[in-house]
Amino acid sequence: MDKRWNILQTDEKKATALQASLKISNTLCKILVQRGIDDFEKAKNYFRPSLTALHDPYLMKDMGKAVERIVTAFEKKEKILVFGDYDVDGTTAVACMYQFICKIYNPENVDFYIPHRYREGYGVSKMGIDFAAENNFSLIISLDCGIKSADLIAYASTLGIDFVICDHHLPDLVLPKAVAILNPKQVDCNYPYKELCGCGVGFKLITALAQRYSIDEEFYYCYLDLTAIAIAADIVPMTGENRILAYHGLIKINENPCPGVKALILLANIQKSLSINNVVFIIAPRVNAAGRMDDAKKAVQLFVEQDPIKAMEFAEMLHSDNSDRKEADSTITEEALAMINNDVLLQKRKTTVVYKEHWHKGVVGIVASRLTENYYRPTVVLTRSGEIAAGSARSVTGFNLYEAIHACREYLLGYGGHFAAAGLSLLPENIEAFSNKFESVVSNSIDEQLLIPEIIIDTEISFEEITASFYNIICQMEPFGPENMRPVFVVKKVIDNGYSKIVKDHHIRFVVTSNTKTFTGIGFNMADKFKLIQEKKPLDIVFTIDENEYNGQTSLQLKVIDLRLSE
């Protein structure tokens, strides 16, 4: 699949000024300026993330109310239920909050609740509120959910149950009648950083409670490992407070993680120190698998378990759920691709809508993402759930999927989501009508350019600039994530030395020279581009830089993302 190359532009004056104060390469200064780091002070905070730079939690709207309601619960010996969503952000948030409250309050008066993905669905559930009422809980702290649950929270209050909401999803115009709503995205919340995840908002409430009781930092900084896992998994911007929390959380993950995280790392057989990327691709899927394939409650049990042997038992359950998830997702992806590959009409569309009754509903969202890797366009994957069809949708960068699905609502029973992803349900007999309407809405509104995947390239570079010290500074830009991605470079007019070859059928091993400097590189799943190398003409290559260890020797290599013939 061909891709669009988008080489970012930089304010050259600002880059030159930054270089004068930092004394590092101009190329790196250009990238920093693009990311809003344009003076010495900002650069210092960026390269040396400090926990002392975290904002005062009481700057968040309703923080005082939330703390006082919890203090009242302690004083009146009320029962408190910690409630969270079934994904990584929700389960880590619940584990942190539950453990912290158990430290400062009678654990017999505290419990946690994770709604079942299929029996109850996303967010605050009626079953959860009924459970609270039956067991005499009078305060629910909801994490990573609650902001859109006005009706259910009103129902809870008729049963004498108060809510403190910690959420980061966009609020609707009508807010729930909770005792306190902690969400920096509220229009009238003056909290300086808006991009915290659910666990991050929970961490701020824990910090505020700790300050209220003059509790030492070490008693809540111990949750930084779980907070970092949530930040990585929830794909929130890796900027500001998120980056500080992720940076220090990664150190904890690598030095002394909680027994549950340690068990996951052992099972995944990771010997080296983990990066945020490892957390996203190794830890997060195992945690998410619990909710996808069975019950996410065991993810919380894993995170709160202090006995390493029991923690390993929970980790093995998650590991096994993840193996089931992998099998389901690869089987379904193959079946769905076959449906498109065997139908010329489906191939020509600007959308994908596929449906099979037997597909596992826990993985349809993953399958939708995988399909966009092959057919890059808005995609809906549906399966049968009782009497109805339900599923997930994924967009392409820059296209508002939620609006497109909203325009097809006449055929839907329910839908929800945001710009890039959504969930929907409909009657099976309406699938064809929905599919045609969705195709018509998208093809009439999408910019053709958006159907070609885009590679964002930070800047052009020369091979001479790529040195050990240059790479060392790139490493100090970690942790990487949205809005702070690993830098992507382009070098133009490189020459293949004749030693490049296809390895393991799918990948290319590169040996390329520019001016007089030669680099080796690897291009995963790029074998279809090998014919360009065989033309023996100058090439432009797009890549990131990483290290390669071979026979005890470490050298820099290029991780090639794309290439084309030079103009």
Q: What is the pLDDT of residues 525-537, one digit of tens each?
A: 999 999 999 888 9
Q: Which H or E run includes 507?
A: strand 507-514
Judge whether residue 1 has pLDDT over 80: no
Average pLDDT over residues 158-168: 97
pLDDT grade for 235, boundaries at 50, 70 and 90: confident
Average pLDDT over residues 74-102: 97
Average pLDDT over residues 201-212: 98
Nearest to 79 by CA among 154, 118, 136: 136
Give pLDDT, residue 498: 85
Three-state DSSP at 164 gives strand
Average pLDDT over residues 177-202: 97
Percent of the chain with pLDDT over 90: 90
Nearest to 80 by CA among 91, 94, 61, 92: 94
Judge whether residue 154 has pLDDT over 90: yes
Q: Which H or E run includes 543?
A: strand 539-550
pLDDT grade for 122, boundaries at 50, 70 and 90: confident
Q: Looking at residue 313, what DSSP letter applies?
A: H
Give pLDDT, residue 121: 82
Average pLDDT over residues 277-281: 91
Spatial separation of the C-alpha atoms in residues 483 and 458, rounded to whole Å: 12
Judge whether residue 346 has pLDDT over 80: yes
Tell me the β-bridge partners of 389.
384, 426
Judge whether residue 123 has pLDDT over 90: no
Can you state the angle between helices 308-341 and 259-267, rounded to 10 degrees? 50
- For 181, 185, 209, the CA distances from 164, given in Å and listed in that order, are 6, 16, 13
| Total residues found in the chain within this entry | 567
Say if CB 459 and CB 7 are below 8 A apart. yes
Percent of the chain with pLDDT over 70: 100
pLDDT grade for 468, boundaries at 50, 70 and 90: very high
pLDDT grade for 460, boundaries at 50, 70 and 90: very high
Say if CB 67 and CB 208 are below 8 A apart. yes
Say if CB 141 and CB 96 are below 8 A apart. no
Three-state DSSP at 503 gives strand
Q: Which residues contact 500 (CB under 8 A, 6 or more apart)?
A: 508, 509, 510, 511, 512, 530, 533
Q: What is the torsional sign of CA 174, 180, 185, 187?
A: positive
Say if CB 517 and CB 554 are below 8 A apart. no
Give pLDDT, residue 172: 86
AA identity, residue 446: I
Sheet with strand 137-143: strands edge to edge: 110-113, 79-84, 137-143, 162-166, 180-182
Spatial separation of the C-alpha atoms in residues 463 and 450, rounded to whole Å: 32
Tell me the β-bridge partners of 394.
379, 421
* Predicted structure pTM score: 0.93
Spatial separation of the C-alpha atoms in residues 520 and 526, rounded to whole Å: 15
**Using alpha carbons only, what angle is made at residue 297 by residues 293 and 303, rounded to the nearest 5 degrees?**
110
Give pLDDT, residue 436: 97
Give pLDDT, residue 434: 98
Tokens, residue 21: 């104060």
Chain mean pLDDT for the chain: 95
Give pLDDT, residue 558: 97
Give pLDDT, residue 500: 86
Chain segment 398-438, per-residue pLDDT in tens: 999 999 999 999 999 998 888 889 999 999 999 999 999 99
pLDDT grade for 181, boundaries at 50, 70 and 90: very high
pLDDT grade for 513, boundaries at 50, 70 and 90: very high
Q: Looking at residue 191, what DSSP letter applies?
A: -
Phi and psi torsions of 4, nearest 5°: -90, 135
Tokens, residue 445: 């509104």
Burial profile 393-431: b = 16 or more Cβ within 10 angstroms, e = fewer: bbbbeebebbebbeebeebeeebebeebebbbbbeeebb
- For 90, 95, 119, 254, 290, the CA distances from 313, given in Å and listed in that order, are 21, 17, 25, 21, 13
Give pLDDT, residue 237: 95
pLDDT grade for 493, boundaries at 50, 70 and 90: very high
Nearest to 87 by CA among 201, 224, 229: 229
Give pLDDT, residue 551: 85
Judge whether residue 549 has pLDDT over 90: no
pLDDT grade for 21, boundaries at 50, 70 and 90: very high
